[in-house]
């Protein structure tokens, strides 16, 4: 399938793009905000398109035309102001869903945040970020899209192990960004992840096996 990666210049997004570019079954289009980001992907032979989550639904829909799936890995970051968080993590995500519906894309993989579904576990200093993630996820679950919502724990930069723990509710932990990216890519056409949301941490189970055994 052809996959539009929104947030392609982020740390997880870049890894997702590179994995999809090398994939035998998938192709990729990277959505970025800046011309220099576009050119950096194009120099690597990767299709890229300019569009802004703070722009219009039509702009995002145009970027998504011809794709079969969307991966939403964009984020303002938990330490930006609440205004930017609302514009990107909530409204930007909803615009991406509306764009998918507008051009007939059904498959939508959302990168959320650990325990975004559980208000009792939100860190006090990150509440606006978690509010945005929570309601974006709820909007996606109530849409007509074939969604998967991935809620990774604390993100680390070391090399991935390919071993994870996946469940609706986990107690906490962390995970390399590389393993988050691998999980996103492997979720795309894994039917057992369709219409499901789950926490994701480092663990001792191969990603493919963990996804197939998800309850």
pLDDT tens-digit readout, 113-168: 998 888 888 888 888 888 999 999 999 999 999 999 999 999 999 999 999 999 99
Displacement of CA 74 from its chain's centroid (Å)? 7
Count of the separate structural domains present in the chain: 1
DSSP state of 160: P
Q: What is the pLDDT of residue 84?
A: 86
From edge to edge, which strands make up the β-sheet containing 163-167?
A: 47-50, 27-32, 2-6, 69-72, 107-111, 146-152, 196-202, 163-167, 205-206
Alpha-helix residue ranges (DSSP H) falling in 65-206: 82-85, 93-103, 127-141, 177-187
Q: What is the pLDDT of residue 79?
A: 64
Q: What is the pLDDT of residue 82?
A: 84
Q: Flag whether the pTM goes above 0.75.
A: yes
Q: Left if phi > 0, otherwise alpha if psi is -120 to 50, otherwise beta: which for 77?
A: left
Give which of 212, 167, 207 is closest to 192, Cα–Cα. 212
- Please tell me which residue in 129, 130, 147, 154 is annotated as part of the active site: 129
CATH number for the domain spanning 164: value is 3.40.50.720
Structural domain of 155? 2-212
Q: What is the pLDDT of residue 78?
A: 55
Q: Is 129 an annotated catalytic residue?
A: yes
Q: Left if phi > 0, otherwise alpha if psi is -120 to 50, otherwise beta: which for 5?
A: beta
Q: What is the pLDDT of residue 75?
A: 84
Mark the ranges of the chain whose per-residue pLDDT is less than 70.
77-80
């Amino acid at each position: 399938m052809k996959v539009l990666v929104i947030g392609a210049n982020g740390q997880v997004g870049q890894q997702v793009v590179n994995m999809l570019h090398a994939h035998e079954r998938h192709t990729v289009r990277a959505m970025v905000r800046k011309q220099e980001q576009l050119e950096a992907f194009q120099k690597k032979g990767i299709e890229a398109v300019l569009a802004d989550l703070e722009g219009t639904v039509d702009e995002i829909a145009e970027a998504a035309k011809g794709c079969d799936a969307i991966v939403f890995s964009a984020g303002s970051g938990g330490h930006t102001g609440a205004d930017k968080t609302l514009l990107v993590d909530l409204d930007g995500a909803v615009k991406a869903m509306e764009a998918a519906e507008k051009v007939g894309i059904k498959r939508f993989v959302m990168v959320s945040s650990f325990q975004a579904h559980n208000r009792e576990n939100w860190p006090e200093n990150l509440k606006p970020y978690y509010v945005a993630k929570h309601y974006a996820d709820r909007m996606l679950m109530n849409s007509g899209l074939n969604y998967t919502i991935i809620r990774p724990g604390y993100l680390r930069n070391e090399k991935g192990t390919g071993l994870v723990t996946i469940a609706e509710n986990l107690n906490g932990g962390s995970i390399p960004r590389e393993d988050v990216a691998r999980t996103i890519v492997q979720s795309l056409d894994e039917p057992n992840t369709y219409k499901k949301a789950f926490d994701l941490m480092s663990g001792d189970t191969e990603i493919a096996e963990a996804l197939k055994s998800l309850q």
